[in-house]
Structure 1
Amino acid sequence: MTGDARRHDAAATLRRARLDDAAELARLSAQLGYPQQETTFASRLRRLLVSADHPVIVATDDDRTLLGFVAIEHRLMLELGERVEIVGLVVDDRARRRGIGQALVRAAEDWARELGVADVMVRSNIVRTESHPFYEGAGFTRTKTQHVYRKRL
C-alpha cells in the first residue's frame, strides 16, 4: 500500500496514517497497555511518516475514528537478512471480531511483498494469550520463545 492508497475490506477502509491520527493512535495504544500523551504520539508519528521503512496503516469506518492500526518495520539484520516485522497491532476493543486485525496483517504482508521481502515476523508477549491463536490462525508459526532485557541509560 503505497502513498495514501486506500483499500476497502469488508470490515473497514485501510489507509496510511496521517499526523492528525495521533490522538486516535494514542487512544488505541492505551488499550494495549501503552498509554502515552497525544503530543508524544504526534512527535513519533511525524518521524515515522517520513520513513520509507516504518509505515503505519490504520483501519477506519469514517476516516476520523480509528478501528485499529498496524505499525510495520523493514529491517536488515546482519545474521538473518531482510525482514518485515509487525511491531504494533491493535484493534479497538469495540471493533474486535470483525476481521479488522486480519485485514491489517494482510496489509503488512502486502507491503512486504511490494518490497520483495519473503518473511514477516511478529512478537507477541506471552501474557497476551488471546493474540497467540490469532497469529497462528493468520499463518504465523511460533519459532522461538525469548526473554527481553532492558537497561535504562
Structure 2
Amino acid sequence: MADTATTLRRARIGDAAELARLSAQLGYPQAADAFERRLRRLLISADHPVIVAVGDDDAHLLGFVALERRLMLEAGDRVEIVALVVDEAARRRGIGQSLVDAALDWAREIGIGEVIVRSNVARELSHPFYEGAGFQRLKSQHVYRKRVGE
C-alpha cells in the first residue's frame, strides 16, 4: 500500500464492514451485520468512542481504536483501549501510535488520568509497541469464561 495521508475521525455506521474486516485480521472474525448492530449501540454511547484511521479513500479503513470509559469500584474511572488494530498492509507507518494518541487525548478531554490496555501474551509484537508508547506492564492474567443460558 502506498503512503497516503492519514486522517482520524469517529466511526460511522457505514464503517461496520471495514471494522469487521480489520477485526478478522486481529483474530476475531465476525459478520459485518453483527458489527453493524454493535456499532449502532456504541455510536450513541458517550463512553464508548470508536476512532478510525483513513487514507485518501475515506471508505477504506487503515485501522481503528475502540475505547471504553470504565468505572471500577476498586480503581475508579479509567479509559481502556478495548481494541486496536492497524491493517496488515498499513503497519509500521505510525498509524497505531496516532490511534493511541487519540485515545490519550480523549481521556484528557473527559478528565480521566489513566489509560489501560490489555494485550494477549500471544501478541508478541504488540508488547514492545505499547511499552514504546509509554505504557507500563502491570501484570499478566488468565481470562476465564463461563457461558450462561445454554
2:6 counterpart residue number: 12
Counterpart-to-counterpart distance in 1, 2:96 and 2:144: 28
2:93 counterpart (98, 104, 123): 98
Alignment gaps of 5+ in structure 2: none
Structure-2-length-normalised TM-score: 0.95
Alignment of 1:1-153 (within 5 A): 12-61=6-55, 62-153=57-148
SS of corresponding position for 1:67: strand
- 1:105 shift after superposition: 0.2
Deviation string for 1:21-54 (max 9, x for gaps)?
0000000000000000000000000000000000
One-letter amino acid of the structure 2 residue matched with residue 121 of structure 1: I
Query: Could you report, residue by residue, the CA deviation over 1:63-102 in whole angstroms, capped at 9, with x for unpaired residues?
Result: 1100000000001100000000000000000000000000
Partners of 1:12 and 1:44 lie apart in 2 by: 25
Identity %: 74
| CA RMSD across the alignment | 0.9
Alignment-mate amino acid for residue 86 of structure 2: V
Contact 1:102 1:138 in 2 (8 A): yes
**1:11 and 1:100 in contact (8 A); partners too:** no
**Whole-angstrom CA distance in 2 between matches of 1:49 and 1:130:** 30
TM-score (norm 1): 0.93
Q: In the aligned structure 2, how far is the partner of 1:33 from the partner of 1:11?
A: 27
- Structure 1 residue 11, shift from structure 2 partner: 5.1
Runs of 4+ in structure 1 deviating by more than 6 angstroms, as ranges, are none
Q: What's the secondary structure of 1:85's corresponding residue?
A: strand
